Structure 1
């Protein structure tokens, strides 16, 4: 399988080319430059592999939640590319991708992924590894740190900027259920790609017309104003 994945929902901007389980990554932490960086990253990956968009099986993107502008960039770029090359798309939760990276790099099997959502809230989700793939245990949500849903038991690892902004409250609520946290960890297109490959096998691909960002705040999910071409 060949797929190209992008992720721009946080301070990190990345693109990854997945070919039969092997991943080539372009990654940079440069806030507010995602719109400049993402297309060259995609082009470099395809050129390095001697591929064009039409030679792929699918595209994937971090659908959110995350920074509104970043989520819109990824959605618009992927939708435009999918229309141009007539490719299916695999949307991946950015919280799931963050949890997948924590599992891949740190071996954590139960992860509480959190991004700072501003206004005293955070984006939050709980994931557990099953055969190397993070599966949702606590659905993605936006809430104050006092109100997010917590796991009832088990030992969990925290990941993401929500732990930098609200770690004190979260640690107090979790107590001995928290084994540690990685507040500086961002999600990566590599993990978007790996989750998308699993989603492909599970029949989760959608058409370009069905591509949607997920914002969570006020439970809003909407299409970009117009496809990027």
Structure 2
């Protein structure tokens, strides 16, 4: 059964996780997580060594590598991308870039069983990285496209106004700047939740099983701000 490694440095947190899928036995999930602003370069690879050692595997035993591809901190994304690409190149293993917003959603769903979530990360410069999601039985479905936009323009997808929505991510510190109808729709906001590699690696395992692993040079960070704003004003 496959063994996957995931790492993330997209926010103030730094994390690594190893997942070993096992037939007829529960999966083995080993992780490290630390709030380490400005220490990602120093902490990320030691975390990788720690989860490998605890699992009793070597880098050569890995079937695929994954990392948080963004959106998030430009510097952190480059650190994680460089480490993950270096491992994937050196081991000749496929690489998977996993959306940090998608990982935030899975984490909140796994731990609290929330079904409808709005992820928002503080993108600085008066903007947020945002998307809306629906979850069921550890499956994450996007309801719109990930976008970078001012908090004043964050609105829920049409036809979903009657759900109990939960806001997740640092962008919810800007809640008072969001439209009144968006604020009212939130039953709960969790601005302190960070991306964790243990959620990334679970998503990566599903993507790997679906054949989505790619050569290392083909998998790049997703900054969103480099692109034309995807979500238009409603």
Deviation sequence 1:149-168 (CA, Å, 0-9, x none): 4223222110010001x111
Alignment of 1:116-195 (within 5 A): 116-152=122-158, 153=160, 154-164=163-173, 166-170=174-178, 172-195=180-203
Alignment of 1:30-69 (within 5 A): 30-69=36-75
In 2 relative to 1, CA 67–175 (structure 1 residues): closer, same or farther, beyond 3 Å?
closer
Which consecutive residues of structure 2, in runs of 5 or more, have no partner in the other structure?
Answer: 22-26, 229-234
Secondary structure of 1:174's counterpart equals helix
TM-score by length of 1: 0.91
Q: Distance in 1 between matches of 2:38 and 2:110?
A: 27
Secondary structure of 1:74's counterpart equals helix
Deviation sequence 1:72-95 (CA, Å, 0-9, x none): 011110000000000101110000
Deviation sequence 1:69-127 (CA, Å, 0-9, x none): 00001111000000000010111000000111111112111111111000100000112
1:19 aligns with 2:20: yes
Deviation sequence 1:16-57 (CA, Å, 0-9, x none): 011113211100001010010000000111112221111011
Paired residues in the alignment total: 219
Q: Distance in 2 between matches of 1:169 and 1:105?
A: 28
Q: Distance in 2 between matches of 1:156 and 1:129?
A: 11
1:9 aligns with 2:10: yes
Q: Distance in 2 between matches of 1:203 and 1:17?
A: 19
Which consecutive residues of structure 1, in runs of 5 or more, have no partner in the other structure?
Answer: 221-229
Deviation sequence 1:169-222 (CA, Å, 0-9, x none): 3362314422111010001000000111111122221111112000000318xx
Secondary structure of 2:76's counterpart equals helix
1:202 aligns with 2:203: no
In 2 relative to 1, CA 107–170 (structure 1 residues): closer, same or farther, beyond 3 Å?
farther
1:103 aligns with 2:109: yes
Q: Distance in 2 between matches of 1:202 and 1:148?
A: 32
TM-score by length of 2: 0.89
